[in-house]
Chain A
């Protein structure tokens, strides 16, 4: 860019007249309102998602439950839950963490907070309209892209606002050299608008014809979950793990290697074998899916080597626990997805509960858990307060962890069992269905635990805010009284 900006060395020389220093506290202050707003609404949406998810899950205990209301039918609450999780929680939490990281890594204040707040508003109006739309029967019919047009348009512009602020912040950074996380976060910033506009234009605004719709939907869904979530989650983890443990990340180059292999092979598609499309599409998908084994292993090696022999006092740091779990889930879900892309396995697992189990392990086990960790790390800095009840943070961790394990494990095992039964043509279909019920019902426990966790999460955040509000009220009051004292 412009040559007037001094290279990074000049920053470390710390000559005061060259670049005035910006303290971490100042950066945090610039992020406070917009990032807190993103986090709070994310926490609200993840709770809403639990609410819908539990209703959907209960239908497998008793199909007639709440059957009289069209807006509570399974085919509506189920997508409402997944969309609230992905767009309400995932994107917002991800963007909040991303902005904070980009500002800190660039040693610069967040650029144009009002743009972020406007974007936040648009985004939440969009998601709210969209979820109501799904409940009202307006879903587009494309999995992962169900939010109707009147939701996706404001959401897109909301994203542009937030994304632009992220770009500006990156642009005005004072530390010119890039830390590995910045590669991931910057790529994520570009990625979403492209895939989201592409998918919405080709599926909703001016739909392509026939099975191409499913092809594009699969491409979009994969780019969102594998690439966007992957980039933001890994970007956050590669920052926070070294930061919390106060050790350097094991390898910068391995991080770059992960970056390249992830964006190149992760971004292809996930068309399952046997789909009604020309054979090369599933074949190329399998090729790409198998190659993602490489970035997954690279992440595993990098994280393991960074943490190797670590037993610092921060070991019980709740944020680190969330993130470490997230990394484990990343590797596990990645291995599951590689396995399920192989023809022989796909024959069994495709169309079964194994698929949503793997998906939830990515979206929740990896991404949401990493975001929880990041939020628990960031929020005390933003508010300059510690959580009132650290035990409640730990409680959230245990609930979320047990929740996702109790959700995904039964579904994955039940899914394999279901697939084997389906592939035995002699087993009547209804027997296959009833065979999965114990697993489905077990997974409801997971849903319930996660829901309680989300409630605690929201309370933890709200508690800090109340504390903050209370304190600023007090300072205001004391200032007042002082002022009054002076006056009197």
Chain B
């Protein structure tokens, strides 16, 4: 007997099993997801990233922010992701496949040298903070190990008495030097991308915690059935 073909068949069989189970089957299940309508708001989820944020995604990828930052919140009971305020869903389930529909590439990250950024767009809405932090993390977070990204900024000399631009993230008004630090387009795009990072919408996979409050009257608030029509307060006109 020639064992060569047997080895080949063994390999083929094992690899095909793994490929079907971990590539084909998940692709059939979650690879063809579409936007879904969010019941509370009627909006389609997830939204496509606007152009500037899309460019920012490229900056995020090119500079490998994902080697230090994850973009996945683990569910309740898996560590303290929720307790640290990284999750935004009022649900035991946190990040789900639906959230990543329009990410290209999907950068889940495998390390948490820095905090999870899944919901940084909700947590940190101050663009100036984000820009200063990128320019030099020590300005906002003393002792941070995040590297500064001065190459995403440009230095612009200030003439004597000239007012710094409102966009400046950092101004030096010394006796010897006068300059301001302005964000480049890349920095602005990156901040727009960070702003676009949020996944708080409730979808089927993430059923919300049962709520005990009466539903809000506004049609835009999430409405939950526990307390409707229970106590009549007034009857119809006669």
Contacts and interface: CB of A to CB of B under 8 A. Distances in A.
Establish whether A and B are touching in the complex (CB under 8 Å).
Answer: yes
A422 B80 contact: yes
Contacts of B66: 75, 141, 143
B7 A182 contact: yes
The binding surface of chain B is classed by DSSP as loop
A60 B143 CA distance: 11
Contact of A74 (B27, B31, B64, B106): B64
Contact of A433 (B4, B63, B113, B136): B113
Interface residues of B, number: 75
A437 B67 CA distance: 16
B7 A183 contact: yes
Contacts of B72: 274-276
Interface stretch (A109-117, A263-271, A295-303, A327-335): A263-271
B92 to A, nearest CB: 12
A64 B144 CA distance: 11
A73 B33 contact: no
A74 B114 CA distance: 13
Interface in B55-84: 61-68, 70, 72-75, 78-80, 83-84
Given A68-B151, A347-B78, A430 B112 contact: no
Contacts of B84: 422, 425, 429
A439 interface: no
A434 interface: yes
Interface in A188-224: 190-191, 194-195, 198, 202-203, 207-216, 219, 223
B156 interface: no
B80 A424 contact: yes
Interface string B94-115: 1111111111111111111111
Most buried by A among B11, B12, B72: B11
Contacts of A263: 10-11, 14-15
Given A210-B30, A223-B18, A276-B97, A433 B145 contact: yes
Contact of A425 (B19, B70, B80, B102): B80
B137 interface: yes
Contacts of A284: 21-22
A346 to B, nearest CB: 8
Interface string A275-315: 11110010010000000000000000000000000000000
A278 B33 contact: no
B146 interface: yes
Interface in A78-95: 78-79
A273 interface: yes
Contacts of B229: none
A213 B105 contact: yes
Contact of B150 (A67, A139, A223): A67
Nearest to A185: B7
Contact of B95 (A215, A269, A276): A276
A351 B33 contact: no
B31 A190 contact: no
Interface stretch (A13-21, A170-178, A241-249): A170-178
A147 to B, nearest CB: 14
A348 B74 CA distance: 12
Nearest to B33: A210
A137 B22 CA distance: 30
Contacts of B100: 210-211, 213-214, 276
A251 interface: no
A356 interface: yes
Given A60-B145, A190-B8, A267-B15, A210 B97 contact: yes
9 contacts: A67-B147, A67-B151, A70-B151, A187-B10, A195-B15, A212-B27, A268-B21, A347-B79, A423-B80
Given A178-B3, A210-B98, A213-B105, 7 more contacts: A141-B107, A183-B3, A186-B11, A202-B23, A211-B100, A263-B11, A352-B112
